[in-house]
Amino acid sequence: MNDQQLLRYSRQIMLPQVDITGQQKLLAAKILIVGAGGLGSPAAMYLAAAGVGQITIYDDDRVDLTNLQRQIAHGSADIGLDKVISTLNTLKNINPDVRVLPRKARLQDDLLDREVADADVVLDCSDNFATRFAVNRACVAHHTALVSGAAIRFEGQISVFTPGRNDSPCYNCLYQSDGEELQNCARNGVIAPLTGVIGSIQALEAMKLIMNAGECLTGRLLILDGLGMEWQTLRLKKNPACPTCGVTTA
- What's the whole-number average pLDDT of the chain? 93
pLDDT at 94: 97
| Domain extent for 210 | 3-235
248 pLDDT higher than 50? no
pTM over 0.85: yes
For residue 224, list its beta bridge partners: 156, 231
Q: How far is CA 117 from the centre of its chain?
A: 16
| Each residue's pLDDT tens digit, 82-137 | 999 999 999 999 999 999 999 999 998 899 999 999 999 999 999 888 899 999 99
* Residue 108, domain CATH: 3.40.50.720
| Each residue's pLDDT tens digit, 174-195 | 988 654 454 565 677 899 999 9
Percent of the chain with pLDDT over 70: 94
Q: How many CB atoms lie within 10 A of CB 229?
A: 8
pLDDT at 185: 59
- Asked if 55 and 48 touch (Cβ cutoff 8 Å), the reply is yes
8 pLDDT higher than 80? yes
Q: Judge whether 9 lies within some domain.
A: yes
What is d(CA 174, CA 66) in angstroms, rounded to the nearest whole number?
31
pLDDT at 249: 34
pLDDT at 165: 86
pLDDT at 95: 97
Mean pLDDT in residue range 224-237: 95
- Asked if 59 and 104 touch (Cβ cutoff 8 Å), the reply is yes
In the chain, the number of structural domains is: 1
Q: Judge whether 246 lies within some domain.
A: no
pLDDT at 177: 67
